[in-house]
Amino acid sequence: MLRLLRAFVRFERILLAGLLFIFLITTVFFLRRFYLENTMVVAAEGGTYIEGSVGELQPLIPWFTVTNDVNRDIVSLVFSGLQKYNPETKSVEDDLAVLEVTDDNMFYTVTLKENIFWHDTTESDPHPVTADDVVYTFTTIQEVDFPNSLLRQNFLGVTIEKLSDRKVRFALEKPYRFFASNLTLGLIPERSFISIPPSKLDQALGFGFHPIGCGPYAFRGLVQTELSTEISLARFDRTIEPYYHLESVIFRIFPDYSTLLADIRNVDGIRLVPTNEQGYPIIPKSLKSLHYTLPQYVALFLNLSQPILQDRNLRLGLQLGTDKQNIVSTIGESIIVDTPLLELNTNDWQYKYDSQAAQGAFFASDWHLPEKVRLQRLLELYDANSVGLLQLEPITLLDTGASLIITGSLLDISLDATVHGIQIEQSTETGTWIVALPTHGGTGSINLGFNAIRLEDKGDTIDSFYLWRTTKSQEFKRASQEQDLLDQFIASRNGDLVEADQIGVQNLFLENGMLRLRLSTDPTDIRINDNGEKLSLRLLTSNSPAHYQVIAENIKAQWEELGVHVGIEIPETRAKFEQKLINRDYDILLFGQSLLDNLDSYPYWHSSGVQDLEGERSELRIDSYNLSQYSSLEADSLLEVIRETGSTEKQDLALLELREVLKEEIPAIFLYSPLYTYAYNPNLHGAVIGNPSLHSDRFLTLHRWYMKKDRSFKTGKNWLSAVPWLFSSVK
């Protein structure tokens, strides 16, 4: 009995332990389920983001990063401006300072936020950002010998005044509503440049390779490895928002993309993925990708200072005859644009490729296909020969030594009359006359080719007839066929033939100086003007990016079908290209322009940006951005309204009107907006780009990026919510 009791107690213990185990497992299961259902994944602090890029590191000074995208990326994190562009709202907002703007857009006053420090600040030597730093950053740019003349243009005529230790006012000579964009430039610490003259600022290598900023990340080191140059940044604690999760950011700069790919396991992102020959991005399989555009367009700028391109119908023909879809498909692009005013929705008025309409525009221009010129000449001769006393066949086959016999009535002229300088003779008593024109030497000889046969009586010209002569039977046969085509064309024009038998100038082809019916294999000849000059245009483009040459060849092939010869010029070096650019040494320029965050088209289309080609070459301006040499009083007025007005309604109306002006005057043929690709490791979370104005703007959303994760209770939830949740789950 005792043994049975002990066995029963042991069974109870095992059962109790089993029940307890089941209870614990169930509790853990329900608690885990509760936790997952009532919490959400959030970013955790920490982690290092490593980005690979291709380029060359230069001194990291905000004043001199305009043309170096790799440097601009690093500078965008080390330095901060008074204002910043928000790629999610597409507007310029406060960063280090609060901005106040007067209603007339003439005065911009900034007030620095409190407790902002430079990266070299220490407990014993605090280094706050002050109004003196603001004044120094921008007044230095205004110095005559400041090394960046392009940046200097943004602050011409601007009076900069310190109002207090934290407040600075910018007073403009005239209204400029986009001025806030100029204040996104990274601030410079004055004390780092005290002993350096303005002309030597770009040579401040000590600061350039150990920069001191007040941005969200501080420079920590530069290391040169066998594969890349590495720049290390560490998060800098600031009192202003936003808060950044990543502990550090490392930039690895490679000499080329193949070297970068060889070390792809040691990077978390690629700043700008290149494309293959078909235009598609070369994205490693281990990475995800984001595609984005910038406020940029690539266009064919028509140099209106060249007399040949001042013919508006010619420009219209080139535009209508440009197949943009074919171009973007060839290079792997997709976003076609038709206007430089990128803030406008243009879905309702895209130019359509229409080769027939292009031919119509050329027909109305000063440039014509040789067959049209030939046909026009034949029609003129036909009209001249169809009236008057002389009625002959317009073409004749006469060997040298033979004579052409011409007869007529004496009722119309006297026996004193002459034909081609030879006196007529009475033929019969019925009142007819006759003359024999020789075919070689002497008076009245009919030469090979065209001859103007004149009938004169007593010194007055009674009639003229245009006669073409040959001694070759093959030439005569071709000329006869040409005359038949002329008769068919005239009958078609007069509506005397059924539609199936009608022909137009498009059905004709000029071969060896004479017309014949066009074959499907016949090429389009080069157009000519009334002086016999051929329509030949010089197209200039850069050797970088490489697909510009592909586009140029595509344009050349398309326009050849329109009868336009295109000579492509691609200088070997950037310097040689820029020299031609400044000198406006081109008819057509294939190039891109960037509107940046303010989308201001003024520098590119206002007449103030036209290069003065009449002065000395030393006076040519590198900041003349009007690449089409376009000058229009109407466009100038609208651009000034857009730039100066404080009224959104007036601005929108001016943009619409300017769109129509540019559409009508055709200073350029706008092609596409480039599509870019950023690649990143799936372990990187929160990566968003928005609508950047520069490649570096992707880092304006860096505060959303994180590599470490945590979980946080949803609003209104905590561990105490588990009990009511449990009962609701059981039900």
561 pLDDT above the threshold of 70: yes
Asked whether residue 522 is domain-assigned, the answer is no
Please give the Cα distance from 656 to 665 (Å, whole number).
15
In the chain, what percentage of residues exceed pLDDT 90?
A: 59
Nearest alpha carbon to residue 60 among 150, 192, 237? 192
pLDDT of residue 25: 75
Give the separation between CA 680 and CA 57, rounded to whole angstroms: 22
**Contacts of 450 by beta carbon, 8 Å cutoff, 6+ apart:** 466, 467, 468
250 with 334, same domain: the answer is: no
pLDDT at 430: 72
Claim to verify: residue 378 and residue 501 sit in the same structural domain: yes
Residues 596 and 639 in one domain: yes
Q: What is the structure's pLDDT at 281?
A: 86
Residue 194: inside a domain: yes
CA distances (Å), origin 175, targets 85, 158, 603, 640, 665: 21, 11, 15, 9, 28
Higher confidence at residue 531 or residue 253? 253
* pTM to 2 decimal places: 0.83
d(CA 146, CA 203): 12
| Structure tokens given for 557 | 């092939």
pLDDT, tens only, 286-317: 899 999 999 999 999 999 999 999 999 999 99
> For residue 329, is it within any domain?
yes
Please give the mean pLDDT across all residues of the chain.
88
Residue 479 lies inside a defined structural domain of this protein: yes
Q: What is residue 327's predicted lDDT score, i.e. its pLDDT?
A: 94
The predicted structure's pLDDT at residue 161: 96
Pure H helices in 182-273: 205-208, 257-262
For 168, phi then psi, to 5°, come to: -135, 140
Split into its structural domains, the chain has a count of: 4
Q: Is residue 42 classed exposed, middle or buried when 0-12, 13-18 and 19+ CB atoms within 10 A define those classes?
A: exposed
% of residues, the chain, pLDDT over 70:
91
Which whole number is the average pLDDT over 242-257? 93
User: pLDDT higher for 619 or 297?
Assistant: 297
Mean pLDDT of 424-439: 85
Place of tokens 């968003």: 688
Burial (Cβ within 10 Å: 0-12, 13-18, ≥19) of residue 457: middle
Looking at residue 524, what is its pLDDT?
87
Mean pLDDT over residues 210-229, rounded?
A: 93
Among 452, 484, 517, which residue terminates a domain?
517
Q: pLDDT tens digits for 696-723? A: 999 999 999 988 876 666 676 666 666 6
Which pLDDT belongs to residue 344?
75
pLDDT higher than threshold 80 for residue 144: yes
The reported pLDDT for the residue numbered 351 is: 64
Residue 69: pLDDT band with limits 50, 70, 90: confident
Task: Tokens 């998060």: give the residue.
Answer: 235
Say yes or no: 397 and 511 in one domain. Answer: yes
pLDDT above 60: residue 449:
yes
Q: Give the pLDDT confidence of 364-412 residue by residue, as tens digits.
A: 888 998 998 899 999 999 999 999 899 899 999 999 888 999 998 888 8
Q: Is 262 left (phi over 0), alpha (psi -120 to 50) or beta?
A: alpha
Task: Find, among 69, 598, 61, 20, the residue nearest to 341 by Cα.
Answer: 598
* pLDDT per position as a tens digit, 452-504: 999 999 889 999 999 999 999 999 999 999 999 999 999 999 999 999 999 98
**Is residue 12 domain-shared with residue 102, that is, in the same domain?**
no
38 pLDDT above the threshold of 80: no
Residue type, 658: L
CATH number for position 93: 3.40.190.10
The span from the CA of 585 to the CA of 574, in Å, is 15
Together in a domain, 79 and 218: yes
* Residue 588 maps to a domain: yes
Q: In the prediction, which pLDDT does 393 show?
A: 92
Structure-token pair, residue 340: 């430089």
Same domain, 253 and 382: no
With cut-offs at 50, 70 and 90, classify the pLDDT of residue 442: confident
One-letter identity of residue 392: L
- Which band of pLDDT confidence, cut at 50, 70 and 90, is reported for residue 11? low
Give the mean model confidence (pLDDT) for residues 598-607.
90
Across the range 135-161, mean pLDDT stands at 92
Mean pLDDT for the stretch of residues 16-36? 70
Radius of gyration of the chain (CA): 40
Residue 12 CB neighbour total at 10 angstroms: 10
The domain of 647 spans 298-367+527-673
**Given this model, what pLDDT does residue 713 score?**
63
Has residue 446 been placed in a domain?
yes
Tokens of 154: 């943004």
In this structure, are 325 and 453 located in the same domain?
no
Summarize pLDDT for 480-489 with one digit per residue, the tens: 999 999 999 9
Specify whether 640 is located in the same domain as 552: yes
The residue among 218 and 717 whose pLDDT is bigger is 218
Task: Among 243-252, 270-279, 659-668, name the one with the lowest average pLDDT.
Answer: 270-279
Residue scoring higher pLDDT (16 or 203): 203
Closest residue by Cα to residue 340 from 93, 544, 591: 591
Residue with structure tokens 């950011």? 249
pLDDT of residue 9: 62
Residue 245 vs residue 26, higher pLDDT: 245
pLDDT at 222 over 90: yes
CATH number of the domain within which 356 lies: 3.10.105.10
Residues in the chain: 731
Q: Are 632 and 665 in contact (CB under 8 A)?
A: yes
Per-residue model confidence (pLDDT) at position 729: 65
Q: What is the pLDDT of residues 182-207, one digit of tens each?
A: 999 999 999 999 889 989 988 888 89
State both tokens at 305: 């200072």
Residues paired with residue 433 on neighbouring β-strands, in sequence order: 408, 426
Dihedral sign (CA 540, 546, 549, 554): negative
- CA torsion 134-139-142-148 (nearest 10°) is -50
Same domain, 500 and 432: yes
Q: Which of 421-435, 611-625, 714-728 has the highest mean pLDDT?
A: 421-435
Q: What is the pLDDT of residue 545?
A: 87
Residue 456 lies in a domain: yes
Q: Are residues 189 and 239 in the same domain?
A: yes
Q: What does the alpha-carbon distance between residue 715 and residue 567 come to, in Å, rounded to a whole number? A: 67
Verify that 478 and 622 share a domain, yes or no. Answer: no
Whole-number Å distance between alpha carbons of 269 and 252: 10
